[in-house]
């Protein structure tokens, strides 16, 4: 009996020291992946890291293509993914920590394109580029828009310039960051804000509710003590 109890205590101890796996994608300025080192920075990353630090959580952060990062958090115990847009369709798939950040969804156009749709209704006649598995793409498909889906949002500016579709839908700050990275500031411009969302740390359903409650409490404390604002100001 003592031997069984000893083994049980070893199992519990090992589980307590197991690292929480955090998956993410390159989505600047919220998650920024250094292509050489694979280290991740950004607004959401720093907030999540601070939550883990205050919770005394052993954790790792690993970047993947978005669909892989998202699916791992659904399938693997002790795994969470960020920055994840919280939508009604996703609500029951995860346990949620946040919101971490707000995210404006924008339509981008070629600068020399004289077409300037004023709302979603006017966009219905056009094809819109987005990327597979993203909340924006899911929204467009659900609402009956004609879409052209890339494997990564990084591919869409060149597809827009090459007339593969009429307009490009992306997060405001992400789209601007990609445009800047590709030196296309004079070629592509944001023209229409069409939705405002919030992004979270989305955790596997098997992660204990006690941990989820703790992470949310810590994030609220970070709002109150100014930590979150200080992190955001670093990236303005």
pTM, rounded to two decimals: 0.88
Give residue-wise pLDDT tens across range 151-191.
999 999 999 999 999 999 999 999 999 999 999 999 999 99
Q: Where are the domains of the chain?
A: 10-102+199-234, 103-196
**pLDDT 10s digits, 207-220:** 999 999 999 999 99
In this prediction, residue 36 carries a pLDDT of: 95
Give SS3 for 125: coil
Please give the mean pLDDT across all residues of the chain: 94
Cα–Cα distances (Å) from 56 to 17, 140, 200, in that order, read 11, 40, 20
The size of the chain, in residues, is: 236
Q: Virtual CA dihedral for 74, 91, 120, 173, nearest 10 degrees? A: -60
We find that the CATH architecture of domain 103-196 is 3-Layer(aba) Sandwich (3.40)
Same fold yes or no, 10-102+199-234 and 103-196: yes
Give the containing element (helix H, strand E) for 32.
Answer: strand 32-33
For domain 10-102+199-234, the CATH superfamily is Periplasmic binding protein-like II (3.40.190.10)
Q: Is 227 a residue whose pLDDT tops 50?
A: yes
The side-by-side arrangement of strands in the sheet containing 59-63 is 59-63, 20-24, 79-85, 188-203, 95-110, 167-171, 127-131, 146-150
pLDDT digits (tens, 9 = 90+) for 7-32: 444 444 444 458 999 999 999 999 99
């Amino acid at each position: 009996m003592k031997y069984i109890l000893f083994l049980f205590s070893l199992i519990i101890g090992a589980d307590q020291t197991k690292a929480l796996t955090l998956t993410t994608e390159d989505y600047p300025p919220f998650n920024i992946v250094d292509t050489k080192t694979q280290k991740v920075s950004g607004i959401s990353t720093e907030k999540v890291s601070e939550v883990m630090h205050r919770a005394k959580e052993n954790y790792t952060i690993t970047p993947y293509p978005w669909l892989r990062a998202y699916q791992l958090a659904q399938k693997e115990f002790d795994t969470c993914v960020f920055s994840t847009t919280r939508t009604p369709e996703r609500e029951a798939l995860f346990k949620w920590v946040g919101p971490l950040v707000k995210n404006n969804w924008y339509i981008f156009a070629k600068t020399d394109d004289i077409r300037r749709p004023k709302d979603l209704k006017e966009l219905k006649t056009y094809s819109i580029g987005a990327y597979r598995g993203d909340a924006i793409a899911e929204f467009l498909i659900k609402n009956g828009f004609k879409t052209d889906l890339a494997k990564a949002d990084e591919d869409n500016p060149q597809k827009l310039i090459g007339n593969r579709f009429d307009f490009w839908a992306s997060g405001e700050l992400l789209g601007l960051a990609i445009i800047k990275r590709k030196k296309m500031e004079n070629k592509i411009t944001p023209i229409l804000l069409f939705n405002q969302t919030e992004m979270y740390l989305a955790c596997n359903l098997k992660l204990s509710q006690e941990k989820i409650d703790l992470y949310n409490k810590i994030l609220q404390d970070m709002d109150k003590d100014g930590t979150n604002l200080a992190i955001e100001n670093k990236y303005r």
